[in-house]
Amino acid sequence: MAFVPSALKAVTWNPVLGDSSVVRDGNVHIWTYSSTDAYATVKAANYISSAYDIGMAKGDVVWVVTTSSGTPTAVNQAVVMNVTSSGADLSDGQAVTVANT
């Protein structure tokens, strides 16, 4: 599949804008992204093609939740390694166990 912009959410509140929009303020911001795409696909350079336009920056943290039929099957915590006008490049990430015992 392709990147779905509406599935990427800024978790950090921005009091200047009064919403969860992010400004380039030099601070680390947290994002979530939910997709049926495997993490290996999501972490590819420029997968998050609108990263620059929405204010994503190097050092930001991204929680990527992989789903199947709406159920989380994998979670990875990643760091934004680079952002250009073409998109973001995510780190290899750290897998988080998804279990319900």
In sequence order, what DSSP letters do the residues of 6-20 get, joined into one string? GGEEE-S-BTTTTBS
Residue 5: strand, helix, or coil: helix
35-60 pLDDT tens trace: 999 999 999 999 999 999 888 999 99
Q: Where are the domains of the chain?
A: 5-96
What is the reported pTM? 0.83
- Contact, 56 vs 76, CB < 8 A? no
Closest CA to 81 of 40, 51, 101: 51
DSSP per position, 39-69 = HHHHTSTTSSTTHHHHT--TT-EEEEEEEET
Q: Is 71 helix (H, G, I), strand (E, B) or coil?
A: strand
The SS3 of residue 32 is strand
Rg, C-alpha atoms of the chain:
13
Mean pLDDT in order along the chain per 10 residues (101 residues): 85 58 71 95 95 90 94 96 96 91 79
